[in-house]
Amino acid sequence: MAHFVKKAFSDIRSNRFLNLITIITIALSILVVSIFLLFFENSSRIIESWNQGGRAMVYLVDNFTLDMLPELKTRMKALGDIDEMVYISKEEAFDKLKNEMSSQTTFLKNLKENPLPDALEIRMKSYNSFDEIQQFAEKIKALEMVDDVEYGQGWLGKFLNIFNLFKITGYAMCSMFFLIALFITSNTVRLAFYSRKLEVEIMRLVGASESFIKAPFYVAGLFQGFFGGLLGLLVLLATYLMISSGISQNLASYIYIDIRFLSVKMILLIIMASTFLGWFGCYLSLKQILK
Amino acid sequence: MNDIDTKNSIIRLFNVSKRYKGKFALENISLDIEQGEFIFISGPSGAGKSTLLKVLYLAEKVSEGQILIDGMNLARISSARLPFLRRRFGMVFQDFKLIPTRTVFENVALVLEAAGEKPSFIRKKVMQVLRTTGMEKKAKYYPPTLSGGEQQRVAVARAVVGDPSIILADEPTGSLDTKSAQAILDFLMEYNKRGATVLVASHNLHLLESSVRGRNIEIKNGRIERTAKML
Ligand SMILES: Nc1ncnc2c1ncn2[C@@H]1O[C@H](COP(=O)(O)OP(=O)(O)O)[C@@H](O)[C@H]1O
Ligand SMILES: [Mg+2]
């Protein structure tokens, strides 16, 4: 093993330019992908916090009475994972409204009866997509005691749609850059292989097995993938640190933006993916060359 | 005639033919080579000498016939077992076939590394073989910085470092001056005395005259023209 690593490194040294190009290509691809992931991780977290973990208002029918509450609660619990359930009677809601809109109390006082319905404020335990909230809301709405369910269909839905579109674009971009990096990597291996055609021929003549011949190429591929990924992430980190320190100086007092760097899990995942990329590029081109 | 059973044959060819696009490079060759023999394969350029060596180490497949190496039928050797066959041979070529980007030491060590030997053993063995070929002082040199004669000594060292039972040399002195050529031949004969079977292909007749013993197989147009014992 040490032998292959030594050989791979001397091969890389003797082919510096080609290897540098490959590492930079991988680094660029990883940079694009990780910019997207950074944005995605942060947006998800921000949306999560806005949505406060799937909060929804369940408005109850006019003739709802308190003795129906336990049954409603059990039936709702049967429909899905609910974290929290708070009953808000129409009187409570009306008082709250009066407090919040104290300047308009005359208008409210003139109302002959309370126009607000009884409500249950619920929070779903966990959800993965807007669809899931939507489906859950539909099920609750189908209960005869429930009049309507409000879960931010309007703006949240629209935002999530945009967000999903962005996600799809991101995936497409990631795949594109993955393919480009893969193409470049496998091309480097091909060039390296042809530039050492004599060496490979000689190795075969003296009784080297195919895996002995291929091993240094794989080590070089893994190396390129690993360091390409690392370089891409370091560039992203440097950019992130520059931008975030700029934001905190100038904007922090105006708006609250909490952009965090990629999670450790994500960083490890990216490094693993780019190392895999180096290996896979090597695998593809050797498979093609050695028929 | 139980001639065949008593002989200690290491290479046997049965009606071997090799055709390139229908044209015979080897035609109906049958041959028996004993363990420890020194064989000269002579003949004019294009006679089929190189092809004969190539079919032995499976650089080429025969078109017809069978070849046994130490009892192994070459037709039955899978590509996974080919490296093991190659390790039974040491090979020397006219153009040396050394890796220019590796040092003399690394070029010779490659054989043992490929065979999975331990680094400590490799160091010892390679230096020992370089000493016997007179190249130990050039161990750290790169082949292109050496003379032709020196490069061929390195190639010979590489050919014998794995203690192969058979040495195949294709025009090993073709690009060398007389003195260097003689040194290479002397070394091959010395190695032959220690028990290895050696096959040298060359169109150079001077080479034959200078050698002391062995069997000369002369081929022409892909056929064995004549076989002669030399004293
Ligand atoms: N790869 C090949 N393709 C086609 N013809 C070949 C090939 N190798 C050798 N030959 C032909 O086979 C014949 C024998 O070649 P070779 O064994 O190299 O001769 P020698 O080594 O005796 O000079 C020649 O006519 C040569 O042109
Ligand atoms: Mg020839």
* Candidates B85, B91, B101; nearest CB to A14: B101
Judge if the beta carbon of residue B47 lies within 6 A of ligand 1.
yes
The nearest CA of chain B is from the CA of A276 a distance in Å of: 26
Q: At residue B1, does pLDDT exceed 50?
A: no
pLDDT digits (tens, 9 = 90+) for B14-40: 999 999 998 999 999 999 999 999 999
Residue A251 has pLDDT above 50, yes or no: yes
Atom of ligand 1 nearest to the CA of B49: 22
Ligand nearest the Cα atom of residue B222: 1
Q: Is A198 on the interface with B (CB under 8 A)?
A: yes
Q: Which of A202, A207, A208 sits opposite B97 (nearest CB)?
A: A202
Is the CB of B110 less than 8 angstroms away from the CB of A212? no
Mutation to probe ligand 1, out of B41, B51, B61 (largest number of atoms < 8 A from CB): B51
pTM: 0.75
Nearest CA to B25 out of B221, B162, B197 is that of B221
Does residue B25 line the site of ligand 1, with CB under 6 A?
yes
Could you name the CATH architecture of A55-150? 2-Layer Sandwich (3.30)
Interface probe with A: pick from B81, B88, B101, most Cβ of A within 10 Å: B101
pLDDT at A257 over 70: no
pLDDT band of residue B53 (cuts 50, 70, 90) is very high
Candidate from A199, A209, A212 with C-beta closest to B99: A199
When pLDDT is averaged across residues B157-166 and rounded to a whole number, the result is 96
Using a CB-CB cut-off of 8 Å, the residues of chain B touching A3 are 113, 119
pLDDT of residue A48: 65
If you write DSSP's letter for every residue of chain B in order, what string do you get?
--HHHHS-EEEEEEEEEEEETTEEEEEEEEEEEETT-EEEEE--TTSSHHHHHHHHTTSS--SEEEEEETTEEGGG--TTTHHHHHTTEEEEETT----TTS-HHHHHHHHHHHTT--HHHHHHHHHHHHHHTT-GGGTTS-GGGS-HHHHHHHHHHHHHTT--SEEEEESTTTTS-HHHHHHHHHHHHHHHHTT-EEEEE-S-HHHHHH--SEEEEEEETTEEEEEEEE-
Chain B nearest C-alpha distance from A10 (Å)? 10
The fraction of chain A above a pLDDT of 90, given in percent, is: 20
pLDDT at B2: 44
Q: Measured between CB atoms, which of A198, A201, A208 is closest to B114?
A: A208
Contacts of residue A209 in chain B, CB cutoff 8 Å?
Answer: 80, 83, 114
Q: Is B51 in the pocket of ligand 1 (CB under 6 A)?
A: yes
- Is the pLDDT reported for residue A206 higher than 80? yes
The ipTM (two decimal places) reads: 0.89
pLDDT digits (tens, 9 = 90+) for A178-205: 898 888 888 888 888 888 889 999 999 9
Q: Hey, are the CB atoms on B86 and A212 less than 8 Å from each other?
A: no
**Tens digit of each residue's pLDDT (9 = 90 or more) over A105-156:** 676 677 767 778 888 888 776 565 666 777 878 888 888 888 888 776 566 6
- pLDDT band for position A247 (cuts 50, 70, 90): low
Size of interface A-B (CB pairs under 8 A): 51
Closest-lying ligand 1 atom to the alpha carbon of residue B222: 14
pLDDT 10s digits, B89-115: 999 999 999 999 899 999 999 999 999
Interface membership of A3 toward B (CB under 8 Å): yes
Spans of all domains in chain A: 2-49+163-289, 55-150
